[in-house]
Amino acid sequence: MSLFDQLIEELKKNPQKLEEFLALFKDKITSLALEEINRKIDILLKDREEIFKRFEEHDRKFEEIIKRFEAHDKKFEEHDKKFVQIMEEIKAIKIEIREMNKRLTSLEKRVNTMDINLGFLTESYAIDFFTRYLNEKIVSIKRHYKVDDKEIDALVETENRYYLVEIKSRVSPQDVVQMYSLVGKFLKEAKKEVRPIILGVRVKDEAIEVGKKLGIEVNRL
């Protein structure tokens, strides 16, 4: 007979022990059940605390996000204010530029008028200077003489020859070549010797050399 069977027989013979055994077993079962329930409750409480912690963390992050959005909103407002300010400054600059353009246009007109007057005075002075020291009897002086729709500043006629006089502020080799072309056309109608002369304020040395080769006198004023 096994130990368990012996225990059963013993309990049958002694009902009081059976009741004590059942009560002890019941208490043990109840104790184990309570421990399991308490353990599960502890687990649930821990899970609850963890959930609350997560909720608190999410709330904190959400608050940070809201603060960031508020900060971005402030920055956007500042950028909007700066943008409006910049646009106003650009508008003011455009107005100022228009006013400056008007003043520059007016100044340019005045300068052009001065250039025309100065050019006329320089041209008149140069021709007067040329004729004054010309040791020949002058027959006529024709200003702005045209040769095939091209204009020469002065045609000075003396008893023996014609002087084609061109006044330039700057004289380049190209100016000399153009003068040579006009002289060739004038020679077809001329009945006297023709002497082309270019008088300039700023004369390039190359222009003088080209003039020597083409038979055109180039002098500095």
Q: 0.95 cut: is pTM over it?
A: no
Q: Give the domain ranges of the chain.
A: 1-126, 134-220
pLDDT at 118: 42
- Taking 3-state DSSP, the helix, strand and coil percentages for the chain, each rounded to the nearest 5, stand at 70, 20, 10
151-167 pLDDT, tens digit each? 889 999 999 999 999 99
Contact criterion met (CB below 8 Å) for 12 and 18: yes
pLDDT at 172: 93
Fill in the amino acid letter for 129: F
Contact criterion met (CB below 8 Å) for 198 and 211: yes
66-112 pLDDT, tens digit each? 777 777 777 778 888 888 889 888 988 988 888 888 887 777 766 55
What is residue 140's DSSP assignment? Answer: E
Residue 194 confidence (pLDDT) above 70: yes
- Average pLDDT of the chain to the nearest whole number: 79
Which whole number is the average pLDDT over 23-42?
66
Lowest-confidence region among 29-43, 56-70, 126-140, 180-194: 29-43
Residue 8 confidence (pLDDT) above 70: no
Residue 116 confidence (pLDDT) above 50: no
Q: Which residues, at least 6 apart from 170, have a Cβ–Cβ distance to it below 8 Å?
A: 200, 201, 202, 203, 204
14-32 pLDDT, tens digit each? 666 666 666 666 666 666 6
* CATH class of the structural domain 134-220: alpha beta
For 29-56, give the DSSP string: HHHHHHHHHHHHHHHHHHHHHHHHHHHH
Give dist(CA 218, CA 93) in Å, integer.
50
Residue 114 confidence (pLDDT) above 50: no
Q: Are β-strands 150-158 and 161-171 bridged in parallel, bridged antiparallel, or unpaired?
A: antiparallel
Percent of the chain topping pLDDT 70: 73
Q: Which helix (H) or strand (E) holds 176?
A: helix 173-187
